[in-house]
Structure 1
């Protein structure tokens, strides 16, 4: 994503298809072996004439597109990338997952401000197709007249990055992607390990897996090639990237939390049977990997369901004449369903393929098929969220709520969203939830009926382990303990353990709930 680096073509197939409007370079660079899912990243420097349809035909599955940066002439200005909207629209039309990124200028203004610039020019939408907003932080351009680390100390840069990723988190509920290079990150941040919760986009132009920056044990995306300019042109082809995982994992990165469908006729979950190789059927008593789907916006009031077990879309096979099965790599007419909300709160699915309703045939004993003209009990489902994995970021001090090793009280002192800061948010019934700590598998309790601090030490959910989630007007949430009907507070501006002792919501009683 270095603006001064000009990349090679995506592949010979694309050269033949006319990726750009000028002659391509003579040689293309293949993806590194073992990483079959390919993508690109682009900005103004690639120009206005990228052929996104050719990129898609050549195998591109995702694209990160620059949305913004700042300059310093004559005073700091917020600059949208002039080609962002066009590139995003064309990439989406080609079926690519897309994400927006911001080129960092930490010497000019704060991290929160620049995160706001990104989200102002490219608002994040949880539509199942959008990759997390991304920070591009690397060497300054030569013309900026700065040293490698923006004339800043490691502590200053770490604080700046923290402000950026926190602002993205609180405004979108997603952890920001971080693009960087190990040879820049380690010296300029003092080998900071504070950002392991953010997915990593690492730049390293080779065919061998790259060394990682401090703090990360794996990468999500790898920019493996950026090459020469296209002869005779001021423009360049895209930077070339690969994804570290399969189709299902890429879909999850774009989608966030999964959805499960519970058939009301037999109270069983719909499963992509045989890891998606067999038709969908409502026969599971619990949610596992085969019972999770990403609900993707398919436009025009329609949605598509992508199975998490194989990354394929559910189709009303044979224009609805055959059972539903998760076997499609893209969304077409047969993969689109219109959700209909019923008076009892259930949902029915009208297949675009034949305008018939999906039914749990034979009271759920037979596979799902779209063959009904009206809604009855077999055609009703409930959308259920599997327990999401959440981090709670305290508004009081912008630190993560941590269970430490689970033996001590919860306190908002985590600077990194690691295992101690991860909780499964579990439906506890009656509008309440429970929080199960990932560090020890125990539920958080408002100890001593709320008179003592919160601690993750319970093996089951009882009255003291139930909390009501209250959504505030500013997008934060507050937690009201069932134990005493008091709000949980990050006591003493987060310096003391969490405790349910407040009768009203103030700054210390607000949290940002981040879903990973």
Structure 2
């Protein structure tokens, strides 16, 4: 994109500080893509910014592109992936009048190269039509509930020059925040996920009146500085940082981003299941065997495994509208009722469509059944489990029932506020505390599905469950042999990829402070209540 750097420009009463970017629009009426009203033609991103290395401490790299980035030819997505790019945002739309003609191809080809991709929309608040604008965006954004599609973002910044509009689009702070909220709410209503906000602090704070009302949305901060710039009002962390501009006169030189977290955390910004939820296994009532995606998912599903392993593990993904999808851990592909339900179930789809959607039925005897969306038939372990699973039954009998087993996942918890791992000291006889510099046996826990959206933590130090002792009034300690309300926690996936744990017993967040034992005492999420989930 054509990015402009402003050294000390006062425009419409706002001061723009050197190193703070503004994204150019790229509609047909752009008139050259100047950064915002009042910027003289000919200003270009500095070569230093365009070639800047990723900031220290950030390992997950990304780019964002628009039609401007096709000036010298197509984007070589396999080369970007080979160069370490893990994610990309591609401009999809602007207002209710422009669709990027390269979006479909970039979205498809980037995903084919193994890159996670999200769509973005250049906002036109001056049109005062946020709901229709949000619908226009989602209609063209190709949002799918899969593991490669990132949540979309709304680009909020200065108008580009040819629009000849004031810096805040001619709106009051109340009008502008109203536009943002209506747009965000409509996107969430359409896709079931919160969108991300892309902005710059020097635009956001004056134009929204320092609004703190949007801190629940993930943030993509734009700031071409050596270290993370000050964040806009309302945010204490950012998911993505656009740290340097590209230069569309140089092939392959695109706007540069980093993600604030590790790769599993990045995947939690995608449409699939949150990484904090353990996978599940299905044991068929027909023969007491586990459903397996044999040969790494190349063969149809069949109930003949005697124990749970990778081929028998599935992520339960919310597909929206009351449906779920099953993603096999054997190959990362979704289970499909192949042939519109006429063929055996097999895990070979990369996205969720009608054939990959199921209704999870909770039976009165504690078992579960799966009804395929495509034909309304129940999945059966045919032939008493001797044949592959197929969705062809009109009623639930023994062959259509499965026990749902959550597969424990080994994790570590690293406190964001303290910077150390949570350890069950003295082999679990001491309360939990965040002061281990490295993760060993005492810092490892099994994440166990406790049902109804709760998990339990079983310490590897002593094989005991972590409890919010005395109904949450005392520090956490791993000393329980069974899971009850005191041992259950609700995992909360934060916008920056971290996880917080809310104790069921008192509905307070587990808090880690330097030198202090962990306790469920937090009433809100800040650094002290955030943990990086490792494995």
Shorter-chain TM band: 0.5 to 0.7
1:252-267 superposed matches below 5 A: 252=272, 257=277, 259-265=279-285, 266-267=287-288
Quick one: distance in 2 between partners of 1:253 and 1:199? 20
Matching of residue 29 in structure 1 with residue 75 in structure 2: yes
Contact 2:424 2:431 in 1 (8 A): yes
Q: How far did residue 378 of structure 1 move?
A: 1.4
Quick one: distance in 2 between partners of 1:56 and 1:388? 35
Quick one: distance in 1 between partners of 2:154 and 2:100? 20
* Greater shift in the superposed pair: 202-211 or 338-347: 202-211
Matching of residue 461 in structure 1 with residue 485 in structure 2: no
Quick one: distance in 2 between partners of 1:413 and 1:40? 41
In structure 1, the residue matched to 2:371 is 350
> Is the partner of 1:89 in helix, strand or coil?
helix
Quick one: distance in 2 between partners of 1:118 and 1:284? 53
In structure 2, the residue matched to 1:184 is 225
Q: How far did residue 367 of structure 1 move?
A: 2.4
In structure 1, the residue matched to 2:35 is none
Q: How far did residue 334 of structure 1 move?
A: 3.3
Q: Cα gap change, 1:412/1:508 in structure 2, threshold over 3 Å: closer, same or farther?
A: farther
Q: Cα gap change, 1:55/1:404 in structure 2, threshold over 3 Å: closer, same or farther?
A: same
Quick one: distance in 2 between partners of 1:70 and 1:21? 22
Which of 293, 296, 307 pairs up with 2:328?
307
Q: How far did residue 404 of structure 1 move?
A: 3.9
Q: How far did residue 462 of structure 1 move?
A: 4.7
Quick one: distance in 1 between partners of 2:465 and 2:121? 42
In structure 1, the residue matched to 2:7 is none
- Superposed CA deviations along residues 47-89 of structure 1, whole A, max 9, x for unmatched, are 5334598448853654333487999xxxxxx995963321113
Contact 2:465 2:487 in 1 (8 A): no
In structure 1, the residue matched to 2:171 is none
In structure 2, the residue matched to 1:364 is 385
Q: Cα gap change, 1:429/1:293 in structure 2, threshold over 3 Å: closer, same or farther?
A: closer
Contact 2:372 2:391 in 1 (8 A): yes
Q: Cα gap change, 1:271/1:213 in structure 2, threshold over 3 Å: closer, same or farther?
A: same
> Is the partner of 2:227 in helix, strand or coil?
helix
In structure 2, the residue matched to 1:101 is 153
1:247-396 superposed matches below 5 A: 252=272, 257=277, 259-265=279-285, 266-282=287-303, 283=305, 285-286=307-308, 288=310, 291-297=313-319, 302-387=323-408
> Is the partner of 2:135 in helix, strand or coil?
helix
Q: Can you give the 5+ residue segments of structure 2 that lack an aligned partner in the other structure? A: 2-20, 29-65, 112-116, 158-167, 169-175, 492-499
Quick one: distance in 2 between partners of 1:492 and 1:125? 34
> Is the partner of 2:332 in helix, strand or coil?
coil
Q: Cα gap change, 1:189/1:438 in structure 2, threshold over 3 Å: closer, same or farther?
A: farther
- Superposed CA deviations along residues 245-267 of structure 1, whole A, max 9, x for unmatched, are 9xx99664778736524234145
Q: How far did residue 29 of structure 1 move?
A: 3.0
> Is the partner of 2:141 in helix, strand or coil?
helix
Q: TM-score, normalised by structure 2?
A: 0.55
Q: TM-score, normalised by structure 1?
A: 0.56
Quick one: distance in 2 between partners of 1:255 and 1:470? 13
> Is the partner of 1:186 in helix, strand or coil?
coil
In structure 2, the residue matched to 1:63 is 118
Q: Can you give the 5+ residue segments of structure 1 that lack an aligned partner in the other structure? A: 10-19, 72-77, 109-113, 153-159, 169-175, 222-244, 481-485
Q: Cα gap change, 1:402/1:95 in structure 2, threshold over 3 Å: closer, same or farther?
A: closer
- Superposed CA deviations along residues 453-508 of structure 1, whole A, max 9, x for unmatched, are 3235x6x735799524589xxx994443xxxxx898979999964558xxxx9959
1:83-162 superposed matches below 5 A: 83-92=133-142, 97=149, 99-101=151-153, 121-123=183-185, 133-138=195-200, 140=202
In structure 1, the residue matched to 2:17 is none
1:7-26 superposed matches below 5 A: 25=71
Q: Cα gap change, 1:467/1:447 in structure 2, threshold over 3 Å: closer, same or farther?
A: closer
Contact 1:340 1:350 in 2 (8 A): yes
Quick one: distance in 1 between partners of 2:331 and 2:177? 34
Q: How far did residue 427 of structure 1 move?
A: 4.0
> Is the partner of 2:308 in helix, strand or coil?
coil
> Is the partner of 1:310 in helix, strand or coil?
coil
Contact 1:393 1:401 in 2 (8 A): yes
